[in-house]
């Protein structure tokens, strides 16, 4: 840490890239699992659509959590 106890630029960059990749995985992985379930059960796109919808909901929920935490730290 520096003298003013703020994280360095590289630390912030790493933190935000980890958040972004986590959100991306939260949005993509449920859809991929849905595709696998569709193949397993022989359905056309039922589980893929459900996975995509749930993945988008998880991703937006995570974005809202990040935005709320930034609101409280910025004040």
Which tokens in the block code for residue 59?
A: 């991703």
Q: Is the dihedral of CA 42, 44, 48, 53 positive or negative?
A: negative
Assess whether pLDDT exceeds 90 at residue 27: yes
Note whether 22 and 62 are within 8 A (CB).
yes
Note whether 23 and 62 are within 8 A (CB).
yes
Q: How far is Cα 39 from Cα 21, in angstroms, rounded to an integer? A: 27
- pLDDT tens across 5-19, in order? 888 999 999 999 999
- pLDDT classification of 71: cutoffs 50, 70, 90: confident
Q: Which of 15-19, 27-31, 66-70 has the lowest mean pLDDT?
A: 66-70
- What are the residue ranges spanned by the domains of the chain? 23-68
Return phi, psi of residue 43, to 5°. -85, 160
- pLDDT classification of 49: cutoffs 50, 70, 90: very high
């Amino acid at each position: 840490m520096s003298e003013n106890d703020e994280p360095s630029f590289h630390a912030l960059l790493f933190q935000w890239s980890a958040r972004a990749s986590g959100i991306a995985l939260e949005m993509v992985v449920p859809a991929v699992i849905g595709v696998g379930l569709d193949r397993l059960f022989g359905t056309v796109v039922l589980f893929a659509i459900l996975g995509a919808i749930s993945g988008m909901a998880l991703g937006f929920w995570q974005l809202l959590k990040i935005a709320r935490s930034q609101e409280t730290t910025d004040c």
